[in-house]
C-alpha cells in the first residue's frame, strides 16, 4: 500500500484507527475455545465487526508464534481474511544482520503478504535495508516506546540529544516518508511535539491508547500533519471490550467510538 493510498483511506474512512489482533487463547470468550481454530474464529468476527471503523490491523506475531505451526497457520489465515483495502502490520520487531533480515522480509512481505513490519534499529542500517528494498511495503522502526525500560537506552542523553532522537534522525537517511514509519508510544504524549519537529513528514504507529492509558486527544493534537501521519493502535480496549457472546458487537461499538473521536480531530485539522 502506497502512502497516497493509506492517506486516502484515512480521509475517506475518517479514521486512523489500527486494531491490534493480539489474540490470546486464554482471554477470548469461552464459547469459542472448543472450536477447530478458535483464535481465527475470534479474529474473523472481530474483523467483520470493526472493518468499517478502522484502516489497519496489527498482529503481534508472538501470540501466534507461541502456538507453533498451528499459530503460523492461524496468522496466515487471519492476514488473508483482512480485506485488501486495509493496512496489515506484522508487529514482529525483527532486525538482524542483512542476510537474516532479508529472510524475515521475505517471510512477512511475500509468504504472509503483510504491508508493514516493525523492526528494531539497534544493529544499524544494514539490518534494516532488506525491508526497505520492497516496493510499496513499509518498515516501522522502533522510535520511542512506552515501556518502563525505555529509560535504559532510548531516553539516555548522547552528544546529539537523547538516543531515540538520534535514531529518528539517522534512520531518515535510510528510508523516506513513503516507506518508513516510526513506533512512538502513546504514553509519551509530551514528546510528540519534539518528535514531529524531527520527523515532520513521517507516519507514526502509536500503540498504548486505551488499556495502557494513552490520550488519543493529546496525540492527535500534537502529531497530525498534512497527510494525517498517524496510525493509532488499540488492542485490548477493542478486542476484549466484552468477554461474552456479544464480544464482536462490543468490539465494533468501541471501534466506532474511536472513529467518531478521530473524525473530530481530522475535521479540526482541515
Q: Which position has the higher pLDDT, 146 or 241?
A: 241
Give me the catalytic one of 93, 166, 221, 222. Answer: 93
**Looking at the predicted structure, is the pLDDT value of residue 5 above 70?**
yes
**Looking at the predicted structure, is the pLDDT value of residue 269 above 70?**
no
- The closest alpha carbon to 18, from 140, 105, 133, belongs to 140
Contact 219, 153 (CB under 8 A): no
Mean pLDDT computed over 126-155: 95
Instruction: Write down the domain spans for the chain.
Output: 3-269
pTM assigned to the model? 0.96
Residue 93 annotated in active site: yes
Q: What is the pLDDT of residues 103-132, one digit of tens each?
A: 999 999 999 999 999 999 999 999 999 999
Q: Quickly tell me which residue has 502456538 as its cell.
A: 67
Query: Residue 142: beta bridge partners?
Result: 183
**What are the Cα distances from residue 140, in Å, to 5, 149, 172, 205?**
17, 20, 12, 7
Using 50, 70 and 90 to split pLDDT, how confident is the model at 209? confident
Using 50, 70 and 90 to split pLDDT, how confident is the model at 206? very high
pLDDT of residue 267: 87
Mean pLDDT computed over 82-86: 97
**What are the Cα distances from residue 38, in Å, to 47, 64, 67, 150, 248?**
14, 12, 12, 35, 14
pLDDT of residue 213: 66
Count CB-CB contacts under 10 A for residue 263.
13
**Looking at the predicted structure, is the pLDDT value of residue 270 above 70?**
no
CATH code for 3-269? 3.20.20.70
Question: Which DSSP string corresponds to 136-187?
Answer: T-EEEEEEE--SGGGGGTTT-EEBTEEHHHHHHHHHTTTS-TTTEEEEE-GG
Using 50, 70 and 90 to split pLDDT, how confident is the model at 211? low
Q: What is the pLDDT of residues 40-80, one digit of tens each?
A: 999 999 999 999 999 999 999 999 999 999 999 999 999 99
Contact 17, 259 (CB under 8 A): yes
**Looking at the predicted structure, is the pLDDT value of residue 102 above 80?**
yes
SS3 helix, strand, coil % of the chain, rounded to 5? Answer: 50, 20, 35
pLDDT of residue 147: 87
Contact 76, 110 (CB under 8 A): no
Q: Is 58 helix (H, G, I), strand (E, B) or coil?
A: strand
**What are the Cα distances from residue 245, in Å, to 22, 30, 32, 100, 250?**
19, 9, 9, 43, 10
Cell triple for residue 99? 542476510
**Looking at the predicted structure, is the pLDDT value of residue 212 above 80?**
no
Contact 54, 262 (CB under 8 A): no
Q: What is the pLDDT of residues 165-191, one digit of tens each?
A: 999 999 999 999 999 999 999 877 788
Using 50, 70 and 90 to split pLDDT, how confident is the model at 22? very high
Mean pLDDT computed over 223-238: 95
Mean pLDDT computed over 26-30: 94
Amino acid at each position: 500500500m502506497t502512502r497516497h493510498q493509506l492517506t486516502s483511506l484515512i480521509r475517506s474512512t475518517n479514521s486512523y484507527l489500527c486494531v491490534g489482533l493480539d489474540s490470546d487463547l486464554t482471554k477470548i470468550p469461552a464459547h469459542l475455545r472448543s472450536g477447530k481454530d478458535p483464535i481465527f474464529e475470534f479474529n474473523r468476527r472481530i474483523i467483520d465487526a470493526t472493518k468499517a471503523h478502522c484502516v489497519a490491523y496489527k498482529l503481534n506475531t508472538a501470540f501466534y508464534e507461541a502456538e507453533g505451526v498451528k499459530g503460523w497457520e492461524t496468522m496466515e489465515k487471519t492476514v488473508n481474511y483482512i480485506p485488501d483495502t486495509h493496512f496489515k502490520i506484522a508487529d514482529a520487531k525483527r532486525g538482524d544482520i542483512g542476510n537474516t533480515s532479508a529472510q524475515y522480509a521475505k517471510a512477512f512481505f511475500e509468504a504472509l503478504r503483510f504491508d508493514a513490519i516493525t523492526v528494531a534499529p539497534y544493529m544499524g542500517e544494514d539490518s534494516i535495508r532488506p525491508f526497505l528494498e520492497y516496493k510499496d511495503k513499509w518498515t516501522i522502526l522502533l522510535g520511542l516506546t512506552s515501556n518502563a525500560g525505555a529509560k535504559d537506552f532510548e531516553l539516555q542523553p548522547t552528544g546529539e540529544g537523547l538516543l531515540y532522537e538520534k535514531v529518528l534522525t539517522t534512520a531518515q537517511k535510510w528510508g523516506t516518508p513513503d516507506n518508513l514509519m516510526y513506533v512512538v508510544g502513546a504514553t509519551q504524549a509530551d514528546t510528540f511535539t519534539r518528535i514531529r519537529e524531527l520527523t515532520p513528514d513521517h507516519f507514526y504507529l502509536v500503540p498504548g491508547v486505551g488499556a495502557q492509558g494513552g490520550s488519543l486527544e493529546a496525540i492527535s493534537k500534537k502529531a497530525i500533519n498534512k497527510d494525517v501521519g498517524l496510525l493509532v493502535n488499540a488492542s485490548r480496549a477493542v478486542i476484549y471490550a466484552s468477554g461474552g457472546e456479544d464480544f464482536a458487537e462490543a468490539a465494533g461499538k468501541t471501534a466506532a467510538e474511536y472513529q467518531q473521536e478521530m473524525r473530530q480531530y481530522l475535521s479540526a485539522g482541515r
